[in-house]
Amino acid sequence: MITVLRAGPLTTVQDLGRPGWAHLGVPRSGALDEQALRLANRFVGNPDDTAGLETTLLGCTLRFAEATVVAVTGAVARVDVDGRPVERPHGHQLFEVPAGGVLDVGQAARGVRSYIAVAGGIAVEPVLGSRSTDTLSGLGPERLTDGTVLPIGVPGGAPPLVGEPSRIAGELVLGIRLGPRDDWFDTSGLFASSYDISPLSNRIGARLAGPALTRAHAGELPSEGVVLGSVQVPADGQPIIFLADHPTTGGYPVVGVVGNVTPLAQARPGTTVRFRELD
């Protein structure tokens, strides 16, 4: 078992999500930085889709009832075990927490989200095939609070693997495929301008702040389906990029779809975002 001593502002259980249920109004959810979660799981010998913990900005503190192999990936943050720093020269490392030991993942110095994987994974009950916390619909386990107790699964004994850590950039250039409602806007402004990540961003969407997109169509839409990476433009003209916990329908026009939203998982408020058009 793991006991949460300090939950931080938003720490959740995440795996690779529950895609395939949008027709029932269920978002895909899952780790925002899939690469970081996969890497952490590989370090401790878990399958890629094993559930771990996703922290936000300020990390969390955990007590382990039994000796456990742990890996921390994602954001650059100090990691202590029983008050002593864990050496992480490449931003991640496999290490052991002794029985009764306390793991502290501190404030992110770069990036936003840290991922904690333990051998055997977080063994909460799955919902629709996933153990992910969905902050929009409320499916899955509740977000962690101080005192939460989490079960750990049985380690599989697979040898640890290696991989590339997440890239944390000071400026993001995101590829976007225009449509289905790009004809509702003057899209030249989307590529001529840069935007900043808004502090109002969350697991549902990355809100952008910058020059408002100019409407070329004055009408309104009935709600229609949206997907991961959809760039929705509300009435104020400021784009919102939908992330893992996005709704499955929306009434504002979608100017395009970002091909890879993973870099947004580690983008702090104020990070500059530019768009380039994909074929």
- pLDDT-derived band at 75, boundaries 50, 70, 90: very high
Whether residue 175 is found in the same domain as residue 66: no
For residues 156 and 120, is the Cβ–Cβ distance under 8 A? yes
Q: Number of folded domains in the chain?
A: 2
Same domain, 145 and 234: no
Q: What is the CATH number of the domain that holds 143?
A: 2.60.120
pLDDT digits (tens, 9 = 90+) for 182-238: 999 999 999 999 999 999 999 999 999 999 999 988 888 899 999 999 999 999 999
Q: Are residues 69 and 116 in the same domain?
A: yes
Q: What pLDDT is attached to residue 244?
A: 97
My answer on whether 114 and 210 are in the same domain is: no
Kindly state whether residues 103 and 210 are assigned to the same domain. Answer: no
Tell me the CATH number at 238: 2.40.100.10
145 located within any domain: yes
pLDDT at 91 over 60: no
262 part of a folded domain:
yes
Q: How confident is the model at residue 70 (pLDDT cuts 50, 70, 90)?
A: very high
What spatial distance separates the first Cα and last Cα of the chain, rounded to whole Å?
A: 49
* The predicted structure's pLDDT at residue 218: 82
For the stretch 207-213, contacts whose Cβ atoms lie closer than 8 Å and that sit 24 or more positions apart, written own/partner, are: 207/238, 207/240, 208/238, 208/239, 208/240, 208/241, 208/273, 209/238, 210/238, 211/237, 212/236, 212/237, 212/238, 213/185, 213/186, 213/187, 213/189, 213/237, 213/239, 213/255
Are 186 and 128 within one domain? Answer: no
- Residue 9 shares a structural domain with residue 135: yes
Please indicate, yes or no, whether residues 243 and 136 belong to a single structural domain of this protein. Answer: no
Last residue of a domain, one of 118, 150, 182: 150
Average pLDDT of the segment spanning 79-84: 96
Cβ atoms of residues 92 and 99 within 8 Å: no
Domain-located, residue 74 = yes
Whether residue 207 lies inside any domain: the answer is: yes
Cβ(6)–Cβ(106) under 8 Å?
Answer: no
**Is residue 212 included in any domain, yes or no?**
yes
Indicate whether 13 and 142 sit together in one domain: yes
Average pLDDT, the chain: 93
Same domain assignment for residues 92 and 6: yes
Q: Are residues 136 and 10 in the same domain?
A: yes
Same domain, 127 and 20: yes
Choosing from 116, 150, 184, the residue where a domain stops is 150
Q: Is residue 155 part of a domain?
A: no
Q: How confident is the model at residue 162 (pLDDT cuts 50, 70, 90)?
A: low
Of how many residues is the chain composed? 279
Over residues 112-139, mean pLDDT: 96
Range(s) of the domain holding residue 89? 2-150
